[in-house]
Amino acid sequence: MARMELKDLVKRYGAVEVLRDINLDIADGEFIVLVGPSGCGKSTLLRMIAGLEPITEGDFLIDGARMNDVSPRDRDIAMVFQSYALYPHMDVARNMGFSMEIRRDPVDEKKTRVAQAAETLGLTALTDRLPKALSGGQRQRVAMGRAIIRDPRAFLFDEPLSNLDAALRVEMRLEIARLHQRLGATMIYVTHDQVEALTLADRIVVLNGGDIQQVGSPLDLYERPANKFVAQFIGSPTMNVIPVTGGVEGVTLANGQWLGLPMRENTPFATELGIRPEHLDVVDPGPNVLTATADVVEHLGSDTNIYVNVDKVGPMMVRKHGNIPIATGDKLGLRVMTENAHLFAKGGAALPAPVRQAA
Amino acid sequence: MSVTRTNPALTLGKYVALLAYLLFALFPLYWLVKIAITPDRLIFTEGTDLWPSTTTLDNFRTVIFQTDFMAFFGNSLYVSLGTAAVTTILAAGAGYAFSRFDFGGKKIIVAVMLITQMFPLLMIIAPIYKIVASLGMLNSLTSLIVVYTAFNIPFATFLMQSFFDAIPKDLEEAAMMDGCTRFQALRKVILPLTLPGLGATLGFVFTAAWSELLFALMLISDNESMTFPVGLLTFVSRFSVDWGQMMAAGSLALIPSCLFFIFIQRYLVQGLTSGAVKG
Amino acid sequence: MVEPFLYLSPAIVLIGTIILIPLIIGISYSFQSIEILNPFATGWVGFENYVDLWSDRRFWIALENTFWWTFWSVSFQFLLGLGLALLLNTQFFGKKLFQALVFLPWAVPTFLSALTWAWLFNPTIGPLPHWMAALGILDEPYNIMGDPDLALWGPIVANIWFGVPFFAITLLAALQSIPGELYEAAEIDGASPWQTFTKITLPFLAPMIAITVMLRTIWIANFADLIFVMTGGGPANSTQILSTYIFTTAFRRLDFGFASTIAVALLIILLVYAIFVLWLRKKLVKV
Ligand SMILES: Nc1ncnc2c1ncn2[C@@H]1O[C@H](COP(=O)(O)OP(=O)(O)OP(=O)(O)O)[C@@H](O)[C@H]1O
Ligand SMILES: [Mg+2]
C-alpha cells in the first residue's frame, strides 16, 4: 500500500542544518522505529514525511510518486503529534471522528468507528468531555484514537505512549502491534523507549545530530552496531566502553592486562572495547579476568545490577540474571565473554567481528 | 489560582479599589443621564445637585418622537455594524497571513500599517474628500463604511494576529493530516478558537465607528444620511444648544454600544485554547 | 508565495487607496501654498512652510503641550489600566457585571464624553470644582479649564476616563494567556506576591505593554476631539496641541499648506518615537 523512498533528504532552517543526507527505503507494510537523542531531528523527519515541513533538498516518494509538493491531506497519512494537538473546542468523540467528518463519511460508520476506537483505548466513558478536562495520558490516547480511526496508507507516531503508566503502555503497545497486523499499513514510530523500539520494529533507524547512524533489525543493531554511538544507544543498560591498545589477536587494557580475542584479525586498529553489562561474568580471579570492586549493587529481583570499579580501567556495569549475593565493597573477578565483545577504531567506527558459527 | 490564605486588609483594599474604579467609570455617565432627566428650567438652578428635585422624561420623548434622532441612530447602527463586520473579516485574513506565513515584504507591510496610525487624520481629510467626491459617493453611508474600514484595519489586524499567534500551529497541522485543506482548517479549527479575538475586534471597531465624527461631518451633509454624532451636533445649532435633549439623545446613544460591549465581553474573557497541547 | 497575499490583498488595497494615496497628496500640500483666503498665493513653495514652522512660536508651544498631554494621559491610563486588569484577573462576586460597567467609558462617543466632562468641570452645573475646593485642591470652586496653568488637566482627566478600559482589556487578555502553571511553580519556589508580579507577570506582559503603550501614545498625540470640544485650545493657547493647531490652521485660517506642514512634523516625531520604542523592545524582550 505504501512504499516510501527517502532520497538524499536535507532539512535546513535558514543556515541551521537539522537533517542531512537521509536515505531510506521503507517497504510496504513495514514497521520502522526512529530513535535518537532529543533534538536529533526525529520529529522533523516525521513532519517532512507528513508534508507539514517543506523538504529543503532531495526527494520523497510514496509508491514511486514524488510527494515533495503534495499537500498533507492528499498524502493519506495519519499522524499522532508529539504535542497531541487536540482540538480544544471539540469533545473526545468529535476529535476522533474529525477526519471522517471532513471526508463526509456516513455518520453511522463514523459513530461505530469512534465507539470502537474509544473501546480499544479505554476512553468510552470520556467521549463527551473536552480535552481540557482530560489527564495527560487520556489526551494522549485521544490523539492515538484520532489516528487509528482512519484507514490510511501509513501511520506516523511521534512518541505516542510517552505519557502513559507502565501497564497502559504495555497494553497500548500490544494494541499498536495488533493494529499493524490487522491493517498492514506502513508505520513510522518515534520513541525513546528501548522496549517499544525493540519489540515493535521491523527495522530501527538510529539518528544522531541529523545523520542516520544505522538502519537494521533490532537484533542487528544489538549484535552488530555500526559504531560506538549505536552500540551505546541501543541496549539497556548501556554498553560499557573502555579504552584499549590494539595488538595481534587481542588488546591491552589500560591496566596493562592482555585480553585475547582469537580469530579476529582487525584487533590492531582497536582503540576502544565495548562490552554489554550482560556479557560480563562474575567469576573467581584468574587469567583473562579483571579484578574489580563492587561499588553499588541493585537487586531488582529478576536481575542484579552491579556497578563496579575495575582497577586502573574505570567504572563498569555488570548485569546478572537472578539474585547474586554480592555486597558493596566486595572484590570480584569479571570475565569478558570475548565472543560478544565489540571493538571500535579511532572515531568510533565498529570493527566487525567475524560471522559467528551457529552453535 | 492559589490556596494562600487571604489577608483581610488586602481583601478590603481590593474591594475599595473596585469601588473606586466603578465610581470613576460610572459617575460621568450618571451625570449625563441626570441632565437628561432634569427639567429644562432646573438644569442651571439645580446644576450641582446630585439629584434634581423633579424629574421628567420629556427630553427623551422629544428626541424620539420629534426629531430625526431615530433616523440618525439607524444610520449609525448600519455604518458601525457594517464597518465592524467588514473590518473584522478583512483583518482576520490579514492577521492570519501575518501569523502563519513568512513572506517577502511582510516587514514593509507591517511598517506601512504602523505609519497609517501616526498622522492626524486632518491631514488627509481634504484629499479623501476629493476622492470620494470624484467617485460621486458623498452622502453615502457605504462610503463611510469603506473609509472607516480602511482606518480600522491596521489595528484590527495587529489584534487578530496576536490572537492567531496564541493558537498552536500544531492544531492546523493536525487538521490537515485529518484531511482538511488549509482553508477548511482555518474555518473548522482556527476560527472557532479565535472567537474571543473576533469578538474583541468587533467590539473595538464598532465603538470606534460609532463615535467617529470627523469623516461623518465631512463626507455627509445630507440630513437623510447623518450619523448620530453628527446629529448630536445639530442640537447645538438648531435648538440653540438644548442641553437636556442633547444629553437624552446621548444617553440613548449609549445603549447600543453598551449592549454590544456586554455581548462581546464574554469572548474577551475565556481561554478556549487550554487543553490543546501537552504543555 | 502567493497564498498570504490572498488573505492580505483586500486590506492592502483599501489601505492603499483610502490612506496612502491621500497621505501622499497631503504631504505634497506641505510644499504648496494653499490658502483659501488668499487664492493668488497658491502654488509650489518648496520648503517655505517648513521655514515658517521653525519660527512659529505657537508651533513650539503646541509641541510642548502635546508632550505633556500625551505623557500624562498615557501614564495614568496605563497605570490605572494595569491596576484594573490585575483586579479583573482575580475572582470576586459580581465580576462579570463589574467588568461590563467599568469598560463602558470606552464605548461612549468621544464627543459625548467631552461634553459630559466639560459639564462636570463647570462650577455652575458640575460638582467637581466644589469637591476639589472641599478637598483643598482649589482655593474656591472655579473652572480649571479657564486657568491657563491647569486647563490641560480637564481634557487629560476626560482622556484618562475614556482610555483606561482600552489598556485594561488588552492587558487582561495578555494576563490570561500566562499559563497558570507558572504561578504555581513560582509559589512552590517560594516567591512572594510582589516577586511573582515583577518576575513573572511583568516580563510576560512586556511585549504587549510595549506595543499598546506605543500605539496609545501615537493615537493620543493625534487625538484632538476632547480638547477641541472642551477648551478649543484655549485659554491663551494653553491647551493647544499640535493636532488642534492643525485643525485651527486648516479650518479657521483655511491655510491647508501650513496645516499639512504641522502634520508632517508631527508624523516625523511620532515615527522617530515608534522606531525608538520598537528598537527598545527588541533589546529588552528576547522572544
Ligand atoms: N523552526 C526551527 N528553526 C530552527 N531550528 C529548529 C526549528 N525547529 C526545530 N529545530 C531544531 O531542529 C532540531 C530537530 O528537532 P526535532 O523536533 O526534530 O527533534 P526530535 O528529535 O523530535 O527531539 P525530541 O526527541 O526532543 O522530540 C532541534 O535541534 C531543533 O532545535
Ligand atoms: Mg520530537
The model's pLDDT over B194-242, given as tens digits with 9 standing for 90+, comes to 887 888 788 889 888 988 888 888 888 888 888 888 888 777 665 466 7
Coil, helix or strand at residue A250: strand
Residue with cell 491647569: C150
Distance CA A61, CA A66 (A): 4
Q: What is the pLDDT of residues A105-116, one digit of tens each?
A: 899 999 999 999
Q: What angle do CA C116, C120, C125 make, to 5 degrees?
A: 105
> Are β-strands A31-35 and A186-190 bridged in parallel, bridged antiparallel, or unpaired?
parallel
A339: helix, strand or coil: helix
**What is the reported pLDDT for B81?**
94
Q: What is the DSSP letter of A81?
A: -
Residues 6 or more apart whose Cβ sits within 8 Å of residue C224: B120, B122, C241, C243, C244, C246, C247
Q: How many CB pairs under 8 A join A and B?
A: 85
- Residue minimizing CA distance to atom 10 of ligand 1: A18
* Assigned C-alpha cell, B274: 487550554
- Give the C-alpha separation, C275 to C105, whole Å: 31
The pLDDT, as a whole number, for residue A280 is 92
* A136 vs B: CB within 8 A: yes
At residue B44, does pLDDT exceed 90?
A: no
Please give the average per-residue pLDDT across C20-40, as a whole number. 82
**B86 interface with A at CB cutoff 8 Å:** no
Strand ordering across the sheet containing A16-26: A16-26, A4-13, A57-62, A65-66
pLDDT range class, residue B2, cuts 50, 70, 90 = very low
Count of all residues that appear for chain B in the document = 279
| Predicted pLDDT at B262 | 72
**What integer is the mean pLDDT of A126-146?**
90
Residues B176-199, mean pLDDT to the nearest whole number? 87
CB contact (8 A) between residue C112 and residue B250: yes
Asked if C touches A (at least 3 Cβ pairs < 8 angstroms), the answer reads: no
Do the domains A241-350 and A4-223 match in fold?
Answer: no
Which residues, other chains included, contact B244 with Cβ-Cβ below 8 Å and sequence gap of 6+?
B35, B36, B38, B39, B40, B43, B58, B59
Give the angle subtended at the CA of A159 by the CAs of A156 and A160, to the nearest 5°.
75
Q: What digits encode the pLDDT tens for the residues A41-82?
A: 999 999 999 998 999 999 999 999 999 999 888 899 999 998
Q: Which CATH class is domain A241-350?
A: mainly beta
Cell of A116: 470502537
Cβ–Cβ under 8 Å, residues A263 and A355? no
**Could you read off the pLDDT of A76-128 as tens digits, one per residue?**
999 999 888 899 889 999 999 999 988 888 999 999 999 999 998 899 999 99
Q: What residue's CA is closest to ligand 1, atom 14?
A: A41
- CA separation, residue A164 to residues A159, A187, B171 (Å): 11, 20, 22
The residues lining ligand 1, judged by C-beta closer than 6 Å to any ligand atom, are A 13, 16, 18, 36, 38-44, 82
Phi, psi of A150 (to 5 degrees): -90, 170
Q: Are A139 and B275 a contacting pair at CB < 8 A? A: yes
Of B171, B177, B278, the CB nearest to A72: B177
CA B104, CA B110: separation in Å to the nearest integer? Answer: 12
DSSP letter at C221 equals H
Is 90 exceeded by the pLDDT of residue A213? yes
The verdict on a CB contact (< 8 Å) between B109 and C12 is: yes
The answer to whether residue C285 scores a pLDDT higher than 70 is no
Asked whether residue A187 carries a pLDDT value surpassing 80, the answer given is: yes
Residue B98 has a CB neighbour count (10 Å cut-off) of 24
Residues C214-230 have a mean pLDDT of: 88
Residue C76 identity (one-letter amino acid): F
Strands A211-216 and A203-208: antiparallel
C43 pLDDT above the threshold of 80: no
DSSP assignment, residue C178?
Answer: S
pLDDT at C181: 75
Q: Residue A159 pLDDT > 70, yes or no?
A: yes
Q: What is the pLDDT, as a whole number, of residue A172? A: 87
Peptide bond between residue A237 and the one before it cis (omega within 30 degrees of 0): yes
What element of type H or E holds C118?
Answer: helix C110-121
More confident residue, A315 or A358: A315
SS3 of residue A128 by DSSP: coil
C287 contact B CB<8A = no
Q: Tell me the best of A16, A188, A206 to mutate to test the pocket of ligand 1, counting ligand atoms within 8 Å of each CB and taking the most.
A: A16
* Total residue count of chain C as it appears in this document: 287
> Region B107-123: what's the mean pLDDT?
86
Strand partners, A293: A309, A331
3 state SS of C271: helix
* Closest in A77, A84, A102 to B184, CB measured: A102
As a CATH number, domain B68-268 is 1.10.3720.10
Which residues on chain B are in Cβ contact (under 8 Å) with A78? Answer: 177
Q: What is the pLDDT of residue B5?
A: 54
List of chain A residues whose C-beta atoms are within 8 Å of the C-beta of residue B174: 79, 81, 85-87, 146
Q: What is the pLDDT of residues A11-32, one digit of tens each?
A: 999 899 999 999 999 999 999 9
Residue B279 scores a pLDDT above 50 = no
Domain at A4-223: CATH code: 3.40.50.300
With CA atoms as reference, the chain B residue closest to A162 would be B278
Residue C208 pLDDT grade (very low, low, confident, very high; cuts 50, 70, 90): confident
Residue A260's pLDDT is what? 85
Residue nearest to atom 28 of ligand 1 (CA): A39
- Residue C176: what pLDDT? 78
Phi/psi at B227 (5° precision) = -90, 170
Taking each continuous run of H as one helix and of E as one strand, the counts in chain C are 15, 2
CA distance A188 to A205: 10
pLDDT of residue A63: 93
> What average pLDDT score do residues A221-249 get?
92
Confidence label for B1 from pLDDT (cuts 50, 70 and 90): very low
* pLDDT the model gives residue B238: 52
Q: C270 — phi, psi (to 5°)?
A: -70, -35
Residue-level pLDDT at C287: 47
Cell of A111: 459513530
> A143 pLDDT exceeds 80?
yes
Task: Please enumerate in sequence order all residues whose Cβ is within 8 A of that of A347, keeping only pairs 6 or more positions apart, or say none.
Answer: none
Name the residue of A42, A53, A162, A213 whose CB sits within 8 Å of the most ligand 1 atoms, as the mutation to test its pocket.
A42
Residue of A nearest to B190 (CA): A87
**Residue A22 DSSP label:** E
Cell of B84: 465592524
Chain A residues touching B275 at Cβ < 8 A: 86, 88, 130-134, 139
Q: What spacing in Å lies between the alpha carbon of A43 and ligand 1's midpoint? A: 7
Q: So what's the pLDDT on residue B21?
A: 94
C positions 8-27 inside 8 Å of B (CB) = 8, 10-12, 14-15, 17-23, 25-26
Fold of C54-284: MetI-like fold (1.10.3720)
Q: What is the pTM of this model?
A: 0.80
- Tell me, letter by letter, the H, E, C secondary structure of chain B: CCCCCCCHHHHHHHHHHHHHHHHHHHHHHHHHHHHHHCCHHHCCCCCCCCCCCCCCCHHHHHHHHHCCHHHHHHHHHHHHHHHHHHHHHHHHHHHHHHHHCCCCCHHHHHHHHHHCCCCCCHHHHHHHHHHHHHCCCCCCHHHHHHHHHHHHHHHHHHHHHHHHHCCCHHHHHHHHHCCCCHHHHHHHHHHHHHHHHHHHHHHHHHHHHHHCCHHHHHHCCCHHHCCHHHHHHHHHHHCCCCHHHHHHHHHHHHHHHHHHHHHHHHHHCCCCCCCCCCC
Q: Under a CB-based contact definition with an 8 Å cutoff, are residues C87 and B188 in contact?
A: no
Mean pLDDT, chain B, whole residue set:
83
> Do residues A68 and A89 make contact, with C-beta atoms less than 8 angstroms apart?
no
Q: What is the pLDDT of residue C248?
A: 85
Sort out which chain A residues have CB atoms less than 8 A from B277's CB and list them: 83-86
Nearest to A271 by CA among A354, A353, A352, A347: A347
Whether C19 and B116 lie within 8 Å, measured CB to CB: yes
B270 touches chain A (CB under 8 A): no
Whether residue B168 is preceded by a cis peptide bond, meaning omega within 30 degrees of 0, is no
> In the prediction, which pLDDT does A247 show?
86
DSSP, res C36: T
Q: Following CA atoms C110, C115, C116, C118 in sequence, which dihedral angle do they give, to the nearest 10 degrees?
A: 120
B256-to-A251, A341, B207, B210, B231 alpha-carbon distances in Å: 90, 83, 9, 9, 16
For residue range C126-169, list pLDDT tens digits in order. 888 888 888 888 888 888 888 888 889 999 999 999 999 888 88
Q: Which helix (H) or strand (E) holds C80?
A: helix C57-88
3-state helix, strand, coil in chain A (%, to 5): 30, 35, 35
Burial label, A1 (beta-carbon count in 10 A; 0-12, 13-18, 19+): middle
Please determine, for residue C199, whether its predicted confidence score (pLDDT) is greater than 90. no
- Nearest residue (by CA) to ligand 1, atom 16, is A41
Share of chain A above pLDDT 90, in %: 58
A77 CB within 8 Å of a chain B CB: yes
The SS3 call for residue A39 is coil
Name the amino acid, one letter, at C52.
Answer: D
**Most confident among A131-145, C164-178, C272-286 (mean pLDDT):** A131-145
For residue range A240-255, list pLDDT tens digits in order: 999 999 888 889 998 8
Whole-number Å distance, alpha carbon A41 to ligand 2 midpoint, is: 7
Phi then psi for residue A5, to 5 deg, are -125, 125
Q: Nearest-CA distance from B217 to chain A in Å? A: 44
pLDDT at A191 over 60: yes
Report angle CA C90, C94, C100 to the nearest 5 degrees: 90
Measured CA to CA, the distance from residue C244 to residue C225 in angstroms comes to 8
> Ligand 1 centroid to A42 CA: how many Å?
8
Q: Round to whole Å and give the CA distance between C231 and C118.
A: 8
More confidently predicted of A279 and B276: A279
C-alpha cell at C165: 478600559
- Domain residue limits, chain B: 7-56, 68-268
Long-range pairs, A262-270, Cβ under 8 A, ≥24:
A262/A338, A263/A354, A264/A343, A264/A351, A264/A353, A264/A354, A266/A343, A266/A351, A266/A352, A267/A343, A267/A351, A269/A343, A269/A345, A269/A346, A269/A351, A270/A244, A270/A246, A270/A343, A270/A344, A270/A345, A270/A351
